[in-house]
Amino acid sequence: MNNYSDIVLFALIALALVFKLVSILGQKDQNRSYTKFTDDNQNHSATVVIDKTLTPKDQLKLIDPSYDEEAFLENAKSAFKIILEAYAQGSTRVLSDLLDIEMMKKFVNQVVSRENLKQQAEINVLKINSATIEDIKIINNDAKIKVNFIAETILNIMDQKQKIIFGHQNKIENLKTQWVFKKNLKASDPTWKLVDVDNIPFTEI
């Protein structure tokens, strides 16, 4: 009988400890504010609690552990060169893989306009002197990163008689521009796509 009483007593003590732990772990830090990120792509709902006092860079790293700033900038520089040269060549297939829909429309409009005028464009990215992150924003499920580029380029447009009507054939110019890349953090596609540019070459013609 005493053994039974001991078991009941131990059970009550254990139950009291459980309630105590739940009470402690469930308390919120009043000095912090939090937001939740839920991965609905999985069969279960995996929720990550993000401390808003973290920097956007740290928040991004918490949500997407694969994010690496150095690797991102190297890929951004590659995309910068590929996009500009594809834009000059009118390669819309290449552009469609790296631009979102709205940016694609803007670039294609310029490509079509040149083709209608029978013009040929050249953008030769000789060297990217710098690519630095100016801003990181996380809005809902999207991460946006603004990158400042400074690059040595040769830009020109020739008419149908091969006469240069804009730019220079051999003169190197410094192109300074801001690009914004975006990625949906819940999508299975890991591609960062270009969603904004402060100026698109040749649009002023």
pLDDT digits (tens, 9 = 90+) for 4-39: 555 544 554 444 443 433 333 334 344 433 333 333
Is-contact 56 137, C-beta < 8 A?
A: yes
Number of structural domains (the chain) is: 2
Rounded Cα gap, residues 134 and 152, in angstroms: 20
The reply to whether 186 and 131 lie within a common domain is yes
For the segment 130-139, the average pLDDT, to the nearest whole number, is 95
Rounded Cα gap, residues 76 and 192, in angstroms: 9
Q: Is residue 140 part of a domain?
A: yes
The reply to whether 151 and 74 lie within a common domain is yes
For the segment 105-118, the average pLDDT, to the nearest whole number, is 92
Q: Is residue 202 part of a domain?
A: no
Average model confidence (pLDDT) across the chain: 80
For the segment 169-183, the average pLDDT, to the nearest whole number, is 94
Burial level of 194, CB count in 10 A (0-12/13-18/19+)? buried
Q: Is residue 110 part of a domain?
A: yes
The reply to whether 13 and 91 lie within a common domain is no
Q: Which pLDDT value is given to residue 42?
A: 40
Q: Is residue 127 part of a domain?
A: yes
**Is residue 46 very low, low, confident or very high in pLDDT (cuts 50, 70, 90)?**
very low
